[in-house]
């Protein structure tokens, strides 16, 4: 088995990406886009200087600006390209056999692969994540097409800004995003796929329910288990003939909207790939914590059961979800204060679950007050996405599922839309929106990068209003994101939301899962202590690790009629038997079934012999077949006779049987004679 971390990602919107080779198959784990890199582009043309040709005077002027404070004129004023995983373009897509998608964000880069020549990989993703991911890709294409209207079609497939002389004059902050630290990321930039590419991509996807088995090529059994991060997000198990693997992506134990993290479904796997990098940005530090997680199983099974129940109870405490609800309540309070002051609120958060919960809390807060403030949702896929979220109870948490049985909508937006307290529009320039528009208001719209979609127009409209509020998700460079809209009088509230497993719960989780081998990010070593008892391998980006199989032998299921034919013989220290059947690989297991037999199957020669033939007995058997010869003993180096010797055959044809301690050699030009000699050896030697 080989494992390569292609990218550790960059938070919720840019999940990690890995390549795994197991049982001869190459598996890609997630295929995201780094949409935070859109920050180097200007959302609309802002200065004539950006359209200047790269003549000598222009280059000199730009080089003089590099040392100055970054301003909006330094952004790349061109149709945006999109950054994929930096190392993925170096792999031949036709060699990928399986792609496992853990979240809707993890599939945004899929069309770049599926549109390549000779792509034939099987893509597995949960039903809910597939639908949400498709809508996200369609919305991205729609927003890009709207932005393209400002720039017009490109005359060249290789943009002017991507030429080396253009990259050289970029300010250091932008140059680092465009090229990477070691200038190795330029090849990761690509023009965005089309709506046709998205449809073609989705035709190649196989959707799964949670815990539903998918068998690839009869060898790998693949299952998805809920991760709790978002609706439809999952972790994966891959069971093969030589190893059982669990892949843990960013997960949340108790969610306010999605099904909780089913970590118990990941038990029983000898290898765990831990791929939750969300704690890298946290300020928590557990270096002083003396508690270790030892993955070696306990000797007492009853104690293990008790400890497992205790650990599970501690992991499933809803303290984190309560903190999340408190954050949402604080955001709603800040929004209410802005609206009461006469300003509007802009929410470009793309986390579906957070948006749905914010809609509920914000609408309740506004309804309880005397303020009549409209709530707008503006997106090309908003209507379809909101409708979809109310017909997927099996993908939601228990509290949401209980609403279904009580006759209530799964989410409050259904009722609020009917009561016209929430208004949904496909575009910011739609006639219906312009007709119904009133301020102050609360607007939910894409895109969190502040470079695409309705947020660009609304942010330009409100950025000079000190009473208005922009709600951003922290994690990205807010100064760079807001650069085109400065000077900003508008208030900005940055919020952080749960993006994965907290540091305090990593060790109890691993203790509950009890893996024999753990692949753990090297970057997390300084943040958490885990017992290293020859069970942990640390990995880093662009490093390929090779691991031996965990099973020394392969298990095989044998048909009952074949098992009744066992005739055991002792070969040295092993007992062996011979069976005649057909070998299959099915559901990750080898199976031996009764196959076609010839009529003379009982007369089949042995396929395996052991020991050295008795020369005198062999000569006797040959004489019974009418073959005559003489026995010659061979002297060893010490001058004594041993079991080795030569039988010199002269009738019916010339032949020689040379018996040594290391092997027996038959030399003859007559095939019929060779066959008779071989049969005689079958009689003399033990075989099966």
Whether residue 189 lies inside any domain: the answer is: yes
Which segments within 242-359 are labelled E, that is strand? 244-248, 271-274, 345-347
Which phi and psi angles does 572 have, rounded to 5°?
55, -115
Q: Kindly report the CATH number assigned to the domain that includes residue 211.
A: 3.60.15.10
pLDDT in tens, 282-332: 534 334 343 334 433 433 444 454 577 788 888 888 777 888 899 999 999
Q: Which two tokens stand for residue 88?
A: 């993925």
Going by pLDDT thresholds of 50, 70 and 90, the confidence category of residue 566 is confident
Q: Please check the confidence at residue 152 and state whether its pLDDT lies above 50.
A: yes
Between residues 215 and 186, the one the model is more confident about: 215
Report which of 129, 13, 20 is spatially closest to residue 519, judged by C-alpha positions: 20
Q: Give the domain extent around 350.
A: 319-495
Residue 49's alpha-carbon distances to 63, 72, 73, 178, 422, in angstroms, are: 13, 11, 7, 20, 42
**133-137, 262-266, 455-459, 606-610: range with lowest mean pLDDT:** 606-610
The verdict on 307 and 407 lying in the same domain is no
Dist. CA 100–CA 123, nearest whole Å: 6
What is the pLDDT, as a whole number, of residue 476?
Answer: 66
- Segment 478-487 long-range contacts (CB within 8 Å, at least 24 positions apart): 480/39, 480/70, 480/173, 481/39, 481/449, 481/450, 481/451, 482/450, 483/70, 483/71, 483/72, 483/75, 484/42, 484/43, 484/44, 484/46, 484/72, 484/75, 484/450, 485/450, 485/459, 485/460, 486/71, 486/72
DSSP state of 76: B
Region of poorest pLDDT, from 13-17, 461-465, 611-615: 611-615
Q: Identify the residue whose tokens are 């972790």.
A: 235
Query: What are the start-end ranges of the E strands in 293-336?
Result: none
Min mean pLDDT across 76-90, 270-284, 443-457 is at 270-284
- CA distances (Å), origin 334, targets 155, 198, 492, 587, 594: 47, 38, 10, 54, 73
Plot region of 475 (φ>0 → left; ψ -120 to 50 → alpha; else → beta): left
* Confidence at residue 553, expressed as pLDDT on a 0 to 100 scale: 59
Lowest-pLDDT range, 353-357, 512-516, 605-609? 605-609
What pLDDT does 596 receive?
Answer: 56
The token pair that represents 221 in the structure block: 């059994």
d(C-alpha 37, C-alpha 627), whole Å: 85
Which of 351-355, 439-443, 601-605 is predicted with the least confidence, judged by mean pLDDT? 601-605
In a domain, 616, yes or no: yes
Nearest to 41 by CA among 74, 5, 90, 84: 74
Q: What is the mean pLDDT of residues 637-643?
A: 51
What pLDDT does 28 receive?
Answer: 97
Does the residue 638 lie in any domain? yes
- For residue 66, being part of any structural domain is answered with yes
Highest mean pLDDT: which range of 381-390, 529-538, 649-658: 381-390
**How many domains, in total, are found in the chain?**
4
108 and 188 in a single domain? The answer is yes
Q: Which spans in 487-644 are helix H?
A: 503-513, 560-563, 615-624
Which of 495, 516, 536 is the endpoint of a domain? 495
220 with 162, same domain? yes
Higher confidence at residue 180 or residue 393?
393
Question: pLDDT: is 29 or 72 the higher one?
Answer: 29
Is the predicted pLDDT of residue 157 greater than 50, yes or no?
A: no
CA gap 129, 266 in Å, rounded: 20
Residue 189's beta-bridge partner residues? Answer: 83
pLDDT on residue 182: 77
- Window from 250-259, 460-469, 537-546, 679-688 with minimum mean pLDDT: 679-688
Q: Is the domain of 275 the same as that of 181?
A: yes
Phi, psi of 486 (to 5 degrees): -80, 150
- 274/374 same-domain check: no
Residue 471: inside a domain, yes or no?
A: yes
Structure tokens at 544: 């390929």
CA distance 674 to 687: 18
> Which of residues 458, 479, 495 is at a domain's end?
495
21 falls within a domain: yes
DSSP-derived pairing of the beta strands 98-100 and 122-126:
parallel
What pLDDT band is residue 56 in, cutting at 50, 70 and 90?
very low
Question: Smallest Cα–Cα separation from 87: which of 177, 19, 40?
Answer: 19
The Cα–Cα gap between 492 and 488 comes to: 9
Q: What is the pLDDT of residue 664?
A: 78
Find residue 345's DSSP bridge partners. Answer: 442, 469
Do 649 and 634 have their domain in common? yes
596, 618: one domain: no
Please give the angle made by the CA atoms of 349, 350 and 355, to the nearest 5 degrees. 70
> Taking residues 260-267, what's their average pLDDT?
93
Structure tokens at 483: 């650069």
Average pLDDT value for the chain: 83
Same domain, 423 and 336: yes
Q: What are phi and psi of 362, to 5 degrees?
A: -65, -40
Within this chain, do residues 12 and 140 fall inside the same structural domain, yes or no? yes
DSSP state of 345: E
> What pLDDT, on a 0 to 100 scale, did the predictor assign at position 141?
97
Is residue 551 assigned to a domain?
no
pLDDT of 470 above 90: yes
pLDDT in tens, 22-48: 988 999 999 999 999 999 998 865 543
Tokens matching residue 62 = 């730009």
Name the 3-class secondary structure at 137. helix
For residue 375, the surrounding DSSP H or E stretch is strand 375-378
The encoded tokens of residue 333 equal 């309070």
* pLDDT > 80? residue 346: yes
Q: Same domain, yes or no, for 91 and 175? A: yes
Q: 140 with 271, same domain?
A: yes
**pLDDT 10s digits, 595-622:** 655 544 445 556 666 667 777 788 888 8
Question: pLDDT (tens digit, 9 = 90+) per residue, 211-253?
Answer: 999 999 988 999 999 999 999 999 999 998 888 999 999 999 9
CA distance 481 to 497: 19
Q: Check whether residue 201 and residue 94 sit in a common domain.
A: yes
């Amino acid at each position: 088995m080989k494992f390569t971390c292609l990218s550790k990602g960059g938070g919720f919107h840019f999940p990690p990406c890995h390549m795994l080779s197991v049982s001869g198959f190459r598996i890609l784990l997630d295929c995201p886009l780094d949409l935070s890199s859109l920050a180097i582009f200007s959302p609309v043309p802002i200065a004539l200087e950006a359209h200047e040709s790269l003549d000598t005077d222009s280059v000199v002027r730009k080089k003089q600006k590099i040392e100055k404070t970054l301003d909006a004129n330094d952004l790349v004023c061109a149709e945006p390209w999109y950054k994929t995983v930096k190392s993925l373009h170096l792999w031949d897509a036709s060699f990928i056999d399986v792609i496992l998608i853990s979240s809707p964000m993890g599939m945004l880069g899929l069309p770049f692969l599926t549109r390549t020549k000779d792509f034939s990989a099987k893509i597995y993703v949960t039903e809910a994540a597939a639908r949400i991911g498709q809508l996200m890709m369609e919305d991205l294409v729609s927003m890009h097409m709207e932005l393209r209207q400002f720039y017009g079609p490109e005359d060249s497939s290789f943009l002017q800004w991507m030429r080396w002389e253009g990259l050289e004059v970029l300010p250091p902050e932008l140059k680092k995003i465009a090229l990477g630290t070691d200038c190795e990321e330029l090849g990761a930039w690509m023009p965005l796929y089309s709506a046709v590419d998205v449809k073609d991509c989705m035709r190649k996807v196989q959707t799964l329910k949670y815990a539903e088995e998918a068998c690839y090529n009869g060898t790998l059994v693949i299952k998805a288990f809920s991760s709790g991060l978002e609706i439809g997000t999952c972790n994966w198990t891959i069971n093969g003939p030589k190893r059982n693997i669990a892949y843990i992506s960013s997960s949340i134990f108790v969610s306010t909207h999605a099904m909780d993290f089913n970590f118990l479904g990941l038990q029983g796997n000898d290898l765990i790939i831990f791929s939750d990098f969300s704690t890298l940005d946290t300020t928590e530090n557990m270096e002083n914590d003396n508690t270790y997680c030892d993955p070696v199983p306990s000797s007492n099974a009853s104690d293990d059961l008790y400890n497992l129940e205790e650990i599970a109870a501690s992991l499933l405490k809803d303290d984190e979800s309560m903190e999340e609800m408190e954050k949402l309540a604080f955001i709603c309070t800040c929004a209410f204060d802005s609206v009461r002051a006469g300003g509007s609120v802009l929410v470009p958060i793309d986390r579906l679950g957070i948006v749905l919960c914010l809609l509920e809390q914000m609408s309740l807060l506004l309804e309880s007050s005397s303020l009549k403030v409209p709530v707008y949702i503006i997106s090309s896929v908003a209507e379809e996405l909101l409708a979809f979220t109310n017909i997927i109870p099996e993908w939601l948490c228990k509290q949401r599922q209980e609403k279904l049985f009580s006759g209530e909508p799964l989410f409050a937006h259904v009722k609020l839309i009917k009561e016209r307290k929430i208004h949904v529009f496909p575009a910011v320039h739609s006639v219906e929106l312009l007709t119904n528009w009133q301020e102050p208001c609360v607007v939910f719209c894409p895109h969190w990068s502040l470079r695409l979609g309705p947020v660009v127009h609304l942010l330009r409209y409100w950025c000079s209003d000190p009473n208005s509020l922009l709600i951003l998700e922290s994690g990205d460079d807010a100064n760079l994101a807001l650069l085109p809209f400065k000077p900003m009088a508008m208030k900005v509230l940055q919020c952080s939301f749960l993006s994965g497993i907290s540091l305090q719960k990593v060790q109890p989780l691993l203790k509950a899962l009890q893996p024999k081998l753990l692949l753990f990010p090297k970057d997390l070593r300084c943040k958490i202590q885990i017992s290293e008892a020859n069970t942990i391998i640390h990995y880093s980006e662009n490093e390929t690790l090779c691991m031996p199989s965990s099973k020394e032998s392969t298990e095989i299921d044998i048909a009952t009629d074949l098992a009744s034919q066992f005739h055991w013989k002792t070969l040295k220290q092993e007992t062996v038997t011979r069976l005649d059947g057909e070998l299959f690989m099915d559901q990750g297991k080898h199976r031996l079934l009764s196959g076609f037999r010839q009529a003379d199957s009982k007369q089949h020669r042995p396929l395996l012999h052991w020991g050295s033939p008795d020369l005198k007995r062999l000569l006797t058997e040959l004489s019974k077949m009418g073959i005559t010869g003489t026995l010659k003993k061979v002297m060893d180096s010490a001058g004594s006779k041993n079991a080795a010797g030569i039988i010199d055959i002269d009738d019916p044809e010339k032949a020689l049987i040379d018996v040594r301690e290391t092997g027996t050699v038959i030399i003859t030009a007559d095939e019929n004679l060779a066959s008779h000699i071989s049969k005689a050896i079958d009689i003399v030697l033990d075989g099966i």
